[in-house]
Structure 1
Amino acid sequence: MSSPTPEANILLVDDLQENLIALEALIRGPGRRIFTARSGDDALSLMLEHPFALAILDVQMPSMNGFELAELMRGTERTRTIPIVFVSAAGRELNYAFQGYESGAVDFLYKPLDPHAVRSKVSVFVDLFRQRQELQEAQVQLQRAVAMRDDFMSMIAHELRNPLNSVYLQAQLRRKMLSSPKAPDTQAMQKMVERDERQIRSMVRLLDDMLDVSRARTGKLAIVPAEFDLAASAQAVVEAIQEQANATGVQLTLAAPESLRIVGDEFRIEQVITNLLTNALRYGGGKPVVVTVGLRDDLREAFVSVRDQGMGIAPADQERIFEQFERTEGAAQVAGLGLGLYIARQIAQAHQGRLEVRSTVGQGSEFILSLPLPAPASPA
């Protein structure tokens, strides 16, 4: 979606109110905001408060004439780059135009004004202003993209280094055990293999997450719908993560009906539940985590809720955390790339469902995956 066209501010400065009214009527248009001032002091105050695409200054004003105002503008950082067009009722023989250009003006107009010429000149400067604004916005976006890339590469290196180091050290230890004159400890070797498998699965999951982000952004996130039991899927995910919960001392419980059949991609839905549970263990502060599966008959949808009792999420962060590489405040010491919730929401939306969060800082968070139920069968 393209960003809205920036509004262009135009400043008119003349000591006569009737001149301001006439000039404003001449250049008013959509996307333009007209400011008027009847003295140089008032004009400077406005220029210090607002960015302007153009300033049209009357030359002959009491107290401070247009040339003096232009000199002050050129000497102030905030107003230095505002284009100036002078307007004068004096005859050409006074050669005000030369003085105006010396003061830094981009154009000089004599009264009576040519309406077509005035409108054309104003349009040129408004277009130039908008182009500068768009260029500045593009530069900001580019800098942000470069910073995100650098942060991403740093996170990837960190996330991959730990499991790779672990696998490498385990391999070195096995090499030492095998070269020992004693028979290798089969049980110890088995535990090492299991640890290797966990670390390798961790790296594979990291790579899968990155691939899923790419697929989601290009609209190629594969969804293969079929009828399956959501309650059984939630049970399978909880059982798979139970060992991790036990290792961290987290009490993990599931409340679900005996069966709840829906239509969707079972693998992808389990991926969402896994991401939500993994986050709950990471950010739950070691406190109990509850998974609930149920129905909302009034909305014709099933839901899976994952509730923790951890740090909670501030209201300002509750939408931001669903973006790529975004994480809640206070999560800097917790492993992760900030991709899981983005992918989970993309999967929910691909199922015509929703992924929402309810949270209070210091009181934990509840993530709710809502999925539509299949339409009831038509009577024969």
Structure 2
Amino acid sequence: MQSESPVNILLVDDQPENLVALEAILGDLGANLVKSTSGEEALRCLLQDDFAVILLDVQMPQMDGFEVATLIRHRQRSRDTPIIFLTAFSSNEQFMFKGYALGAVDYLIKPIAPNILLSKVAIFIELFKKSEALRQKTEMLQQQTQALQQQAAQLEAINTELQTSEERFRLLSACSPLGVFVTDTEGYCVYTNPRFQSICCGSAETQPQQSWLVSVHPDDLAVAHSTWAAYLEDGQDYSQEFRFQSEETAHRWVSIRSARLVSEQKQFLGYVGTVEDITERKLAEAASAQVIREQAARQEAETANRMKDEFIAVLSHELRTPLNSILGWSHLLRSRNLDPQKIDYAISTIERNAITQKQLIEDILDVSQIVRGKLQLHCQPLDLAAIAQTALETVRPSAEAKAIALVDNLQDTARLEIVGDALRLQQVVWNLLTNAIKFTPQQGRVDLHLTVVADLAHAPVSPPPPYAPGYAQLQIRDTGMGIAADFLPHIFDRFRQADSSTTRAQGGLGLGLAIVYHLVEQHQGYVWADSPGPNQGTTFTVALPLVPVTAAAAPSSSLRDNPVGVAPRALADMSILIVEDDTDTREYLAFLLQSQGAIVTTAATAEEGLELLGATQPALLLCDISMPDMDGYTLIQKIRAELPAPQAQIPAIAITAHARLSDQTEALANGFQQHLPKPVEPEVLLQTVLRVTGTTA
């Protein structure tokens, strides 16, 4: 039997030694003695607990015992708590009368006789215990009475509910918009409502044991059986959508839901589930999805058309602008009214703008190959520092023209061994440097730094390939215009520019960075851009996987060396046949070669060239590829197969506007010794002629 809790006795005295004395006297009563040194503290104690008796000192500072007693009696909870006043003023009857008037049960004079105090307090403790027991019994009787009344009300409600439950269930079952089924613990149906039978194409006479599985469309039946079997095994809530066979249409969509059926005593009784026809919802979802797809396609098409229109407008501008200078200065040169200085300036301007057009065309061709997946690389071991140095020297004049400081660490960088296409990687670095110089104002700064990093864990790129022992990281940082945060994700998109309006400050087609991204990606590398914002500069980072030093072979540079100067009349008395259908190109090539002493014969068609070659014995053939009636490939094949020696073995150079790597491969495979893309630089052509013919310059 659990022992009863000790009663509380409140001791109130401003002298701690008096409290200790009281505690010593009353300690054997087994009560919980709560001590308080002020009236305020005593009142706080009364807010928390009930007390069998209060021993209250009369003389206390701030609030005396009478004031405390008055406040105690004003509180409903402590109104009847016995109070014994303790005082040292034994001769003052006024205090005694005042104490009794406030409801005190006793008035003891200090010093207090311990046995008297002990007996008086013991009596109040006993009275408190009996009062508490009586109160508890009264509360218990009240609770029992209330419980009986509640039980009676509940029984009456249950009886009423039992009378109506059968009718309610019948109405719910008959009128429910959902099909309802109940199964036993093995999953066999023991009840189905009319809506279930309607959805499952049954009738009122359909046996309840027939499961919804018998109505599932054959194409969904295997999935339905497997998911239902798994549900019966693990007991989790079931929710699936299947097609049901239908007499009216090809099929109808149905949602099946089920849960375990458990009694109030936690006994597993089986499963309860619903079957809902969701055909209309599925049709609406399909229609909505179609609308969304059409809207997305329309928006994508509109965006593509807008970008195409912007690109065409930019392309027109970028092509017409240099043409304006070329045609304008050409017209002025024809007038022959220019002084020698202006003539040199005009020729320089024409050449510079022609080079600009050439770069635009090469960018467009590169993007075309990228889109068709035809861009090929000639990969071999390379030194990235050497490639960066070459690109840096190429753009240095452009930087000096704008007083832009070029800062690099290439002289302090050891060889960084990578595998790649030297020309294409030089194109990457050149594009990024050119871009940085273009968007950096006068007297700005462009930094190029090469470093080695172990991984790309902190870079905003996809996870690096596991085979890379490290990365050569090239960073190009400028102090230019910067890039807005909302445009950074599109910086490498084709045909996208931050400003494509007619008021834009910089030119270009917006293809350079797209080409850079693809070339770096083709080298198994990564490239990304960072910018704090507009007018705060931009940093482009290229990371290319390094190769182990032991695996790297000695590099054979595939960079196109600058041709050495060709001596005057280096082609003296060399017989050359030119086959070219374009008159201007044909006359330009003839004039160039004749100026070097060559004896040139020209043909406008492949048939004419074949006849001339059969009648003469030139030392070299320069041949275009795209020509009417017979192209250059067919011509060289006929020469190699049909003509007698020595004409059949004539050295041949293909000069063509087909500048792709695949075009070069095809030219060599068909019998040409060299392939030169148009426009052809004079010194490159002369060096190639000397090399193919084995002539020393």
Q: Same fold (TM over 0.5)?
A: yes
Do 2:482 and 2:537's aligned partners in 1 also have CA atoms closer than 8 Å?
yes
Do 1:301 and 1:373's aligned partners in 2 also have CA atoms closer than 8 Å?
yes
For 2:408, the equivalent position in structure 1 comes to 254
SS in structure 2 at match of 1:304: strand
> For the structure 1 residues 126 and 116, does the alpha-carbon distance in structure 2 shift closer, same or farther, using more than 3 Å as the test?
farther
Superposition RMSD in Å:
2.9
Structure 2 distance, partners of 1:220, 1:120, is 48
Structure 1 distance, partners of 2:407, 2:356, is 23
Q: Deviations over 1:69-89 (max 9, x none)?
A: xxxxxxxxxxxxxxxxxxxxx
Q: Provide structure 2 residue ranges, at least 5 long, that are not aligned to the other structure.
A: 1-171, 181-273, 456-468, 552-697
Do 2:179 and 2:276's aligned partners in 1 also have CA atoms closer than 8 Å?
no
- Amino acid in the other structure paired with 1:255: N
Aligned equivalent of 2:448, options 275, 284, 291: 291
Structure 2 distance, partners of 1:152, 1:24, is 58
Identical-residue share of aligned pairs (%): 31
Alignment partner of 1:349 is 2:506? no
Alignment partner of 1:367 is 2:523? no
CA offset at residue 341 of structure 1? 1.0
Alignment partner of 1:161 is 2:333? no
> For the structure 1 residues 222 and 190, does the alpha-carbon distance in structure 2 shift closer, same or farther, using more than 3 Å as the test?
farther
- Amino acid in the other structure paired with 1:154: A
SS in structure 2 at match of 1:203: helix
Listed as ranges, the matches of 1:295-306 within 5 Å are 295-297=452-454, 300-306=470-476
Do 2:408 and 2:447's aligned partners in 1 also have CA atoms closer than 8 Å?
yes
For 2:512, the equivalent position in structure 1 comes to 340
Structure 2 distance, partners of 1:117, 1:356, is 52
Structure 2 distance, partners of 1:356, 1:119, is 48
Alignment partner of 1:141 is 2:295? no
Listed as ranges, the matches of 1:188-203 within 5 Å are 188-203=342-357
CA offset at residue 329 of structure 1? 6.0
Structure 1 distance, partners of 2:470, 2:367, is 29
Aligned length in residues: 267
Alignment partner of 1:272 is 2:428? yes
CA offset at residue 117 of structure 1? 8.6
Q: Deviations over 1:260-283 (max 9, x none)?
A: 332111111111111111111121
Aligned equivalent of 1:225, options 350, 371, 379: 379
For 1:320, the equivalent position in structure 2 comes to 490
CA offset at residue 307 of structure 1? 0.8
Do 2:405 and 2:445's aligned partners in 1 also have CA atoms closer than 8 Å?
yes
Aligned equivalent of 2:481, options 302, 311, 318: 311
Structure with the larger RCO, 1 or 2 (CA within 8 Å, 6+ apart): 1
SS in structure 1 at match of 2:278: helix
CA offset at residue 352 of structure 1? 0.3
Q: Deviations over 1:97-126 (max 9, x none)?
A: xxxxxxxxxxxxxxxxxx989322222222
Do 1:238 and 1:254's aligned partners in 2 also have CA atoms closer than 8 Å?
no
Q: Deviations over 1:148-203 (max 9, x none)?
A: 111111000001111111111121122122xx5x9x62x54344333222211111
> For the structure 1 residues 143 and 329, does the alpha-carbon distance in structure 2 shift closer, same or farther, using more than 3 Å as the test?
closer
For 2:67, the equivalent position in structure 1 comes to none
Bigger-Rg structure (1/2): 2
> For the structure 1 residues 272 and 24, does the alpha-carbon distance in structure 2 shift closer, same or farther, using more than 3 Å as the test?
farther
Listed as ranges, the matches of 1:1-380 within 5 Å are 118-177=277-336, 180=337, 185=340, 188-256=342-410, 257=413, 259-286=415-442, 287-297=444-454, 300-328=470-498, 332-361=504-533, 362-377=535-550
Structure 1 distance, partners of 2:285, 2:278, is 10
Do 2:310 and 2:500's aligned partners in 1 also have CA atoms closer than 8 Å?
no
Structure 2 distance, partners of 1:234, 1:198, is 24
CA offset at residue 139 of structure 1? 1.1
Do 1:160 and 1:203's aligned partners in 2 also have CA atoms closer than 8 Å?
yes
For 2:193, the equivalent position in structure 1 comes to none
TM normalised by structure 2 equals: 0.36
CA offset at residue 366 of structure 1? 1.0
CA offset at residue 253 of structure 1? 2.6
> For the structure 1 residues 120 and 330, does the alpha-carbon distance in structure 2 shift closer, same or farther, using more than 3 Å as the test?
closer
- Amino acid in the other structure paired with 2:300: Q
Do 2:314 and 2:500's aligned partners in 1 also have CA atoms closer than 8 Å?
no
CA offset at residue 254 of structure 1? 2.5
Q: Deviations over 1:226-272 (max 9, x none)?
A: 12222222121111111111112212233212643321111111111
SS in structure 2 at match of 1:315: coil
> For the structure 1 residues 24 and 171, does the alpha-carbon distance in structure 2 shift closer, same or farther, using more than 3 Å as the test?
farther
Structure 2 distance, partners of 1:297, 1:117, is 59
Structure 1 distance, partners of 2:351, 2:381, is 31
Structure 2 distance, partners of 1:217, 1:153, is 17
Do 2:530 and 2:538's aligned partners in 1 also have CA atoms closer than 8 Å?
yes
Structure 2 distance, partners of 1:284, 1:144, is 30
Structure 1 distance, partners of 2:358, 2:520, is 22
> For the structure 1 residues 241 and 24, does the alpha-carbon distance in structure 2 shift closer, same or farther, using more than 3 Å as the test?
farther
> For the structure 1 residues 345 and 24, does the alpha-carbon distance in structure 2 shift closer, same or farther, using more than 3 Å as the test?
farther
> For the structure 1 residues 329 and 171, does the alpha-carbon distance in structure 2 shift closer, same or farther, using more than 3 Å as the test?
closer
- Amino acid in the other structure paired with 1:277: L
- Amino acid in the other structure paired with 1:274: W
Do 2:179 and 2:275's aligned partners in 1 also have CA atoms closer than 8 Å?
no
Structure 2 distance, partners of 1:136, 1:359, is 34
Structure 2 distance, partners of 1:373, 1:24, is 66
Q: Deviations over 1:14-60 (max 9, x none)?
A: xxxx99xx87999xxxxxxxxxxxxxxxxxxxxxxxxxxxxxxxxxx
Structure 2 distance, partners of 1:163, 1:329, is 20
Do 2:520 and 2:542's aligned partners in 1 also have CA atoms closer than 8 Å?
yes
TM normalised by structure 1 equals: 0.64
Do 1:251 and 1:289's aligned partners in 2 also have CA atoms closer than 8 Å?
yes
For 2:572, the equivalent position in structure 1 comes to none
SS in structure 2 at match of 1:322: coil
